[in-house]
């Protein structure tokens, strides 16, 4: 009945490699978000999924970044040909969604710390 979970907690990779980050949202939450937290840029929105609607990809920094959400639950964020500037903590959040008629409060997972050497 836990909160949002993410894996791995830490990932070290070499420049040019692809990485996949996973997020398991809170059961019953229809909305899922990815954010990135880095020293230079603070907390930035990346991508948002709501139910069966097309995702809002407006925050993805380049076409090397993509995400999918299978079955309306688990999501995977993929970064291809990683660069050193991709090093950051990647946070996933979930919520009941705007249609919940209230706050759309987002609950965050523990994050994945990505280091690109």
Site membership for other proteins, residue 56 (CB under 8 A): yes
| Residue 96 in the binding site for other proteins (CB under 8 A) | no
Q: How far apart are CA 88 and CA 73, in angstroms?
A: 24
For residues 47 and 59, the answer to whether their CB atoms sit within 8 Å is yes
- Residue 34, strand partner residues: 47, 92
77 in contact with other proteins (CB under 8 A)? no
According to DSSP, the β-strands at 42-50 and 5-7 are unpaired
**Span of 19-27, 45-53, 69-77, 80-88 interacting with other proteins by CB under 8 A:** 45-53
Work out which of 19, 50, 67, 114 binds other proteins, going by CB under 8 A. 50
Q: Does 75 bind other proteins (CB under 8 A)?
A: no
Task: Between 14 and 50, name the residue whose CB sits nearer to other proteins.
Answer: 50
Contacts of 46 (CB under 8 A, 6+ apart): 33, 34, 35, 36, 59, 60, 61, 65, 67, 77, 90
| Residue 94 touching other proteins (CB under 8 A) | no
Q: Which residues would be at the binding site for other proteins (CB under 8 A)?
A: 31, 33, 35, 42-45, 48, 50, 56, 58-59, 91, 93, 95, 97-98, 102-111
């Amino acid at each position: 009945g836990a909160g949002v979970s993410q894996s791995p907690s830490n990932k070290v990779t070499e420049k040019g490699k692809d990485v996949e980050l996973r997020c398991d949202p809170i059961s019953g939450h229809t909305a899922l978000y990815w954010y990135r937290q880095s020293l230079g840029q603070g907390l930035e929105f990346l991508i948002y999924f709501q139910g069966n609607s097309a995702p809002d990809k407006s925050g993805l920094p380049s076409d090397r970044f993509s995400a999918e959400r299978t079955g309306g639950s688990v999501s995977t964020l993929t970064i291809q040909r990683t660069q050193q500037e991709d090093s950051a903590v990647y946070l996933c959040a979930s919520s009941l969604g705007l249609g919940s008629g209230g706050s759309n409060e987002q609950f965050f997972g523990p994050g994945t710390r990505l280091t690109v050497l």
